[in-house]
Amino acid sequence: MNILLINHYAGTPALGMEYRPYYLAREWVRLGHQVTIVAAACSHYRARQPSVGQELVDGISYRWLSTPAYTGNGWARMRNVWSFLSQLWTQAPEMAATLRPDVVISSSTYPMDTWVARRIAQLAGARLVHEVHDLWPLSPVELSGMSPWHPFALICQSAEDAAYRHSDAVVSMLPKVHAHMASRGLDLKKLSIVPNGISPEEWAAQPAPLRTDVEQAIDAARRAGAVIVGYAGSMGRPNALDVLLDAARLLADQPLRFVLVGDGHERERLAARISTEGLAQVALLPPIPKVQVPAFLAAVDIAYLGWQRQPLYRFGIAPNKLMDYMMAARPVLHSVEAGNDPVAESGCGLTVAPEAPEEVARGLRQLAAMSPLERRQFGERGRAYVLKHHAYPVLARQFLAAVGGPA
């Protein structure tokens, strides 16, 4: 089967996020399918940008379209999106004729790529599949306060409705979207849930050694006889790290140390807060490479994941970092209120209310008071759960079944 996957932000292990298209495509190639990924050559998610043109990565054919650079979420980013979609529209006849896809997947977070995907699918006589990462325009409306009558929201709504109406299949990473999608016109017989995942083979090898500063922070905490709380990932407002710092202040008299690695819009402000408030038990360090994440998580005792209180999470959550936490067999303190909760479902930790430092402190105190064996049992439940439900070899077959293709 020939598969064409359109994902504006698709990456590779060498370039950085977004990883899901790569991991799914790699499994499809291993199953004997031909896969082409079309992506923009400029994306804010990636650590490094590719060269415009074609590239073969682990059997996956990438086509990188030239798009203008941008920062932030303003007009420059919209120009980048428009450039990508307009080139796809222009190249649709050529792609349909040369790639001859059996399946065309639109998967760019925003829903407007469904229009160009439909054009290619019609020209090629292929099945059309729409993959939903987040609900647009609900995400900018509910998270950012955008008016539903804003021109961008209206365009997104038109595209979302078209995707549900015209696609042969819809795949969602969010598990609780059925009522919303039905209200926008989707026949729910077309819907399948295929969540985020992990690549087991990346956890099978000896982990890459930690960067010196991170290793030193962990060693210092160990010498102090502390239980180490770890966080690895983005440092933006949605990650609720202020709540974790509030909890750390409440736990100042406890044998707990916090090691946070990552980057994001809030990092400098969080660092200033740690310094100003004298939170000596908190080490905030620059991001580590993806290959060092297993070693980092293996070195901590408890992994933290927090969320803001947002009605949008009623449709479910699909966090990549939680899959890493669970694969590392770490007990998780999860501060969330959502339509689903993999921590509770797997029994791999404790869940407390979001935006509640006292509850986070209580949960951390409870996990810290457990024996290493009890914490290890939490972690092993999480690892078993993620291998059964979130391993990419499993998810890739689920995706193919959803689109009606052979596994």
Among all chains, which residue has been given the structure tokens 């509030």? 246
Residues 161 and 22 in one domain: yes
Q: Tokens for 358?
A: 């006292």
- Report the alpha-carbon distance of residue 175 to residue 161 in Å, rounded: 19
What is the span of the domain harbouring residue 398? 2-197+391-403
Contact 397, 192 (CB under 8 A): no
Residues 236 and 322 in one domain: yes
The whole model's pTM is what?
Answer: 0.92
**Quick check: 290 pLDDT over 90?**
no
pLDDT of residue 294: 95
Residues 166 and 129 in one domain: yes
- Report the alpha-carbon distance of residue 59 to residue 42 in Å, rounded: 22
- Report the alpha-carbon distance of residue 114 to residue 164 in Å, rounded: 9
Q: Is 92 exposed, middle or buried (0-12, 13-18, 19+ CB in 10 A)?
A: buried
pLDDT of residue 144: 85
Residues 270 and 184 in one domain: no
Helix, strand or coil, per DSSP, at residue 8: coil
- Report the alpha-carbon distance of residue 407 to residue 405 in Å, rounded: 7
**Quick check: 385 pLDDT over 80?**
yes
Q: Tokens for 186?
A: 């989707």
DSSP 102: S
Which residues lie below 8 Å from residue 294, measured CB to CB, with a gap of 6+? 202, 203, 207, 208, 324, 327, 328
- Report the alpha-carbon distance of residue 63 to residue 41 in Å, rounded: 9
Q: Tokens for 43?
A: 């994306």
* Mean pLDDT of the 10-29 span: 95
- Report the alpha-carbon distance of residue 32 to residue 253 in Å, rounded: 58
Residues 191 and 218 in one domain: no
The CA angle 288-67-195, to the nearest 5 degrees, is: 50
> Which amino acid type is present at position 375?
R
DSSP 358: H
For 352-372, how does the pLDDT look when each residue is reduced to its tens digit (9 = 90+)? 999 999 999 999 999 999 999
* Mean pLDDT of the 12-35 span: 96
* Mean pLDDT of the 21-49 span: 96
For 121-172, how does the pLDDT look when each residue is reduced to its tens digit (9 = 90+)? 999 999 999 999 999 999 999 988 999 999 999 999 999 999 999 999 999 9
- Number of other residues whose CB lies within 10 A of the CB of residue 97: 10
**Quick check: 379 pLDDT over 90?**
yes
Q: Tokens for 127?
A: 């099945």
Q: Which residues pair with 56 in a beta bridge?
A: 61
Alpha-carbon torsion angle 202, 323, 19, 232, nearest 10: -90
Estimate to the nearest angstrom the gap between the alpha carbon of 24 and the chain centroid: 14
Treating both helix axes as pointing N-terminal to C-terminal, what angle do 241-250 and 357-369 enclose, rounded to 10 degrees? 60
For 156-166, how does the pLDDT look when each residue is reduced to its tens digit (9 = 90+)? 999 999 999 99
CATH number of the domain encompassing residue 108: 3.40.50.2000
Residues 397 and 379 in one domain: no
- Report the alpha-carbon distance of residue 55 to residue 29 in Å, rounded: 15
The more confident residue out of 320 and 295 is: 295
- Report the alpha-carbon distance of residue 377 to residue 348 in Å, rounded: 8
* Mean pLDDT of the 175-194 span: 97
**Quick check: 407 pLDDT over 70?**
no
Residues 171 and 274 in one domain: no
Residues 207 and 350 in one domain: yes
Q: What is the count of structural domains for the chain?
A: 2
Residues 330 and 349 in one domain: yes
The CA angle 293-171-349, to the nearest 5 degrees, is: 40
Residues 44 and 177 in one domain: yes
**Quick check: 229 pLDDT over 70?**
yes
Q: Tokens for 266?
A: 């809030």
Residues 230 and 123 in one domain: no
* pLDDT classification of 392: cutoffs 50, 70, 90: very high
**Backbone torsion region of residue 172, taken as left when φ is above 0, otherwise alpha when ψ lies between -120 and 50, otherwise beta:** beta
Residues 366 and 396 in one domain: no
